Amino acid sequence: MPEFDFAQPTSLNDALDLFAADGEVRALVGGTDIVDQLKTGRRNADMVVDVKRIPELQRLELTDDGLHIGAARNLTDIAEFPPVVSDYRGLADSSLLIGSWQIQNRAGLGGNVCNAAPSGDTIPALLSHDTVAVVASKSGTREIALSDFFAGPGQTVLQKGEILVELVLPLMPDNSASSYLRFIPRNEMDIAVVGAGSFVQINPSDNTVLKARIALASVAPTPVRARAAEEVLQGSALTDDLIETAAVAAVEAATPITDVRGSAEYRRELVKVLTRRTLGICRDRING
């Protein structure tokens, strides 16, 4: 492990002072990624800042304007939070798939997001909910649509001195549901070959889709929205045939590679399968 300075601020202002300092400053949320990255030389740091003691980054609250999740709040807390269990079930699905329960107790949602892995499990679920990232620096705060947050594998649009403070998910409308599924070659604790997160809101009077969001992992340099599939669903009755058409259209968003986990062709087929299944789960959840 290379040498670096280490700090544990207990206020957001103190943390922002540290991140504004010269040199490479890295956040430690849970440490489940950054510790290994520092050991193997995939990341470097002059200072590592443990942000878990900052109250704003531990927020977990449902308010009139949405679900607020602090960047350092651990995945277990999120998955067990009653509003997540009842309404934001795609986020609960994805939070409970990352690593083991020991990892989930330690890893923070913001760490999974800022790690910016194309395979990040929580990211498609968050994208399907039109999540907004709230970031802060010494210059102030700004909001970034999560769909605009990723710049490439392991890269975000965060500027020098900025940190992710919280993620805000809009309130769940009536007659809506979300879901997330991934495919891995093992039973657990592996990286997604493909992941898919879906959100659907329907009009109960005629079963037509009022809003649809589909996001994919592990099929492009960043997690991506399957916008062509969303357009297929919009305004039409959520039948099996429509779900199948949307599943085929979702492949348009995928630009997968072939690697040791699977071929590009295999990943495209998985996009169809997982999109079909997550949309079906959303329909079932809406129907109770």
Structure confidence at residue 185 (pLDDT): 86
CATH of the domain at 204: 3.30.390.50
| Average pLDDT over every residue of 250-257 | 97
CATH of the domain at 135: 3.30.465.10
Confidence label for 45 from pLDDT (cuts 50, 70 and 90): very high
Do residue 32 and residue 63 come from a single domain? no
Say whether pLDDT at 188 is over 80: no
Do residue 45 and residue 68 come from a single domain? no
Residue 168 token pair:
């805000």
User: Mean pLDDT score of the chain, rounded to an integer?
Assistant: 96
Model pLDDT for residues 148-162, shown as the tens digit of each residue? 999 999 999 999 999
Do residue 164 and residue 183 come from a single domain? no
| Average pLDDT over every residue of 198-225 | 97
Residue 3 token pair:
């040498």
Residue 20 token pair:
């504004």
Model pLDDT for residues 55-69, shown as the tens digit of each residue? 999 999 999 999 999
| Average pLDDT over every residue of 133-155 | 97
First to last CA, the chain: 51
Residue (of 176, 164, 207, 137) closest to 68 by Cα position: 164
Model pLDDT for residues 14-41, shown as the tens digit of each residue? 999 999 999 999 999 988 889 889 999 9
Say whether pLDDT at 186 is over 90: no
Do residue 281 and residue 183 come from a single domain? yes
Do residue 121 and residue 189 come from a single domain? no
Query: What residues have CB less than 8 Å from 131, skipping those under 6 apart?
Result: 145, 146, 167, 168, 169
Structure confidence at residue 65 (pLDDT): 96
Model pLDDT for residues 160-185, shown as the tens digit of each residue? 999 999 999 999 999 999 999 999 98
Confidence label for 1 from pLDDT (cuts 50, 70 and 90): confident
More confident residue, 33 or 189: 33
Structure confidence at residue 108 (pLDDT): 96
Structure confidence at residue 144 (pLDDT): 98
Do residue 109 and residue 156 come from a single domain? yes
Say whether pLDDT at 187 is over 90: no
Do residue 87 and residue 28 come from a single domain? no
Q: DSSP characters for 214-276?
A: EEEESSSSS-EE-HHHHHHHBTSB--HHHHHHHHHHHGGG-----BTTB-HHHHHHHHHHHHH
**Nearest-angstrom CA–CA distance, 265 and 267:** 5
Task: Report, in angstroms and rounded to the nearest whole number, the Rg of the chain calculated over CA atoms.
Answer: 19
Do residue 23 and residue 59 come from a single domain? no
Task: Give me the half-sphere count of Cα atoms (radius 13 Å) on the Cβ side of residue 185.
Answer: 7
Query: What residues have CB less than 8 Å from 240, skipping those under 6 apart?
Result: none
Q: Give percent of the chain above pLDDT 90.
A: 92
Do residue 249 and residue 263 come from a single domain? yes
Domain, as residue range, for 121 = 55-169
Do residue 272 and residue 223 come from a single domain? yes
Say whether pLDDT at 251 is over 90: yes
Do residue 88 and residue 109 come from a single domain? yes
Say whether pLDDT at 285 is over 90: yes
Domain count, the chain: 3
Do residue 39 and residue 68 come from a single domain? no
Model pLDDT for residues 100-122, shown as the tens digit of each residue? 999 999 999 999 999 999 999 99
Domain ends where: 121, 141, 169?
169
CATH of the domain at 12: 3.30.43
Domain ends where: 108, 134, 169?
169
Say whether pLDDT at 210 is over 90: yes
